[in-house]
Amino acid sequence: MMKNRYQSTSFQLGTPNARQAPPDIGLEVAFAGRSNSGKSSALNVITNQKTLARTSKTPGRTQHINFFSVDDTRRLVDLPGYGYAKVPKEVKARWQRAITQYLETRRSLRGVILLMDIRHPMKDFDRQVLVWCHAAGLSLHVLLTKADKLKRGPAKAVLFEVRREIAELHPLATVQLFSALTPHGADEARAILDHWLEFTTVAPCA
Ligand code: GDP
């Protein structure tokens, strides 16, 4: 087992807009994904905590940007889940503004982890995030979540297909399989975080 540097991560604050975020100093990695993509489960597995990301699920908080501190200078950021059923247009528009503003202006942001359910990858929202991050010069890593829902062969096929597709939208983005259930891929995801948050200086093989 690799050392888990994220198990003392704790909830810091939640805010509907980037203006009330914690001071923009130190290093941050943001987690983005459509509702039900498995974002909360992944955050819990990565930090080895059962209920960390539940904070973001409490009513009134679902549209918040939630900040979790790893230590004094490093944070994980849970962006609001997107695309749930029939969200009114104005809500989507407001959400998009908050997210783009955050992605475009946040100086401490080192990279974005984008979560996609392996059975429903590369939806409109996912493509937008890839394009935004590429335009903003932000590193991006994809977790294909719930990989346990597919057999090994089909899971690999999706992995290769998504790799091929994202290369056109964000040439430097990387992709891996992930399951919060088995769990599979947590060490690989933490290695990316370690690199972006400067715990390690050598880039992991993706
Ligand atoms: P979020 O809305 O993106 O935060 O998604 P959640 O983490 O709440 O997960 C949504 C649903 O997918 C829940 O019912 C989870 O139990 C389920 N889920 C999440 N991750 C996995 C996984 O790796 N494997 C399986 N089989 N189910 C998962």
The predicted pLDDT at position 59 comes to 62
- 112-157 pLDDT, tens digit per residue, is 999 999 999 999 989 999 999 999 999 999 999 999 999 999 999 9
Asked whether the beta carbons of 149 and 118 are under 8 A apart, the reply is yes
Protein residue whose Cα sits closest to atom 14 of ligand 1: 36
Ligand 1 pocket check: which of 39, 41, 56 to mutate, most ligand atoms within 8 Å of Cβ?
41
Average pLDDT value for residue range 28-56: 90
- 166 pLDDT more than 90: yes
Is residue 103 included in any domain, yes or no? yes
- 47-57 pLDDT, tens digit per residue, is 999 888 875 56
Mean pLDDT, the chain, whole residue set = 90
- Cα-based angle 152, 4, 76 (whole degrees, multiple of 5): 90
Any atom of ligand 1 within 6 Å of the Cβ of 9: no
The percentage of the chain sitting over the pLDDT mark of 70, rounded to a whole number, equals: 91
Protein residue whose Cα sits closest to atom 5 of ligand 1: 38
Any atom of ligand 1 within 6 Å of the Cβ of 35: yes
CA of 39 to the centre of ligand 1 (A): 7
Is residue 99 included in any domain, yes or no? yes
Alpha helices in 48-123 (DSSP H): 89-105
Q: How far is 198 from 155, CA to CA, in rounded Å?
A: 31
Is residue 2 included in any domain, yes or no? no
Which residues sit opposite 31 in a β-bridge? Answer: 78, 113
Average pLDDT value for residue range 50-73: 80
Asked whether the beta carbons of 96 and 65 are under 8 A apart, the reply is no
- 175-184 pLDDT, tens digit per residue, is 999 999 999 9
Which residues sit opposite 1 in a β-bridge? Answer: none
The percentage of the chain sitting over the pLDDT mark of 90, rounded to a whole number, equals: 69
Q: How confident is the model at residue 82 (pLDDT cuts 50, 70, 90)?
A: confident
Is residue 66 included in any domain, yes or no? yes
The predicted pLDDT at position 18 comes to 79
- Say which residue the tokens 């493509």 belong to: 127
Domain range for 74 is 10-196
Q: How confident is the model at residue 200 (pLDDT cuts 50, 70, 90)?
A: confident
* Cβ neighbours of residue 176 closer than 8 Å, sequence gap 6 or more: 141, 142, 143, 144, 159, 185, 188, 189, 206
Q: How far is 126 from 33, CA to CA, in rounded Å?
A: 7
pLDDT-wise least confident of 16-30, 73-87, 139-153: 73-87
CA of 181 to the centre of ligand 1 (A): 9
- 2 pLDDT more than 60: no
- 37 pLDDT more than 80: yes
Protein residue whose Cα sits closest to atom 15 of ligand 1: 38
Residue type (1 letter), 93: A
- 60 pLDDT more than 90: no
Residue type (1 letter), 70: V
Is residue 205 included in any domain, yes or no? no
Q: How confident is the model at residue 63 (pLDDT cuts 50, 70, 90)?
A: confident
Is residue 180 included in any domain, yes or no? yes
CA of 164 to the centre of ligand 1 (A): 25
Is residue 168 included in any domain, yes or no? yes
Which CATH number do you get for residue 26?
3.40.50.300
Is residue 202 included in any domain, yes or no? no
Q: What total number of domains does the chain contain?
A: 1
Do strands 139-145 and 109-117 pair parallel, antiparallel, or not at all (unpaired)? parallel
Q: How far is 26 from 41, CA to CA, in rounded Å?
A: 25
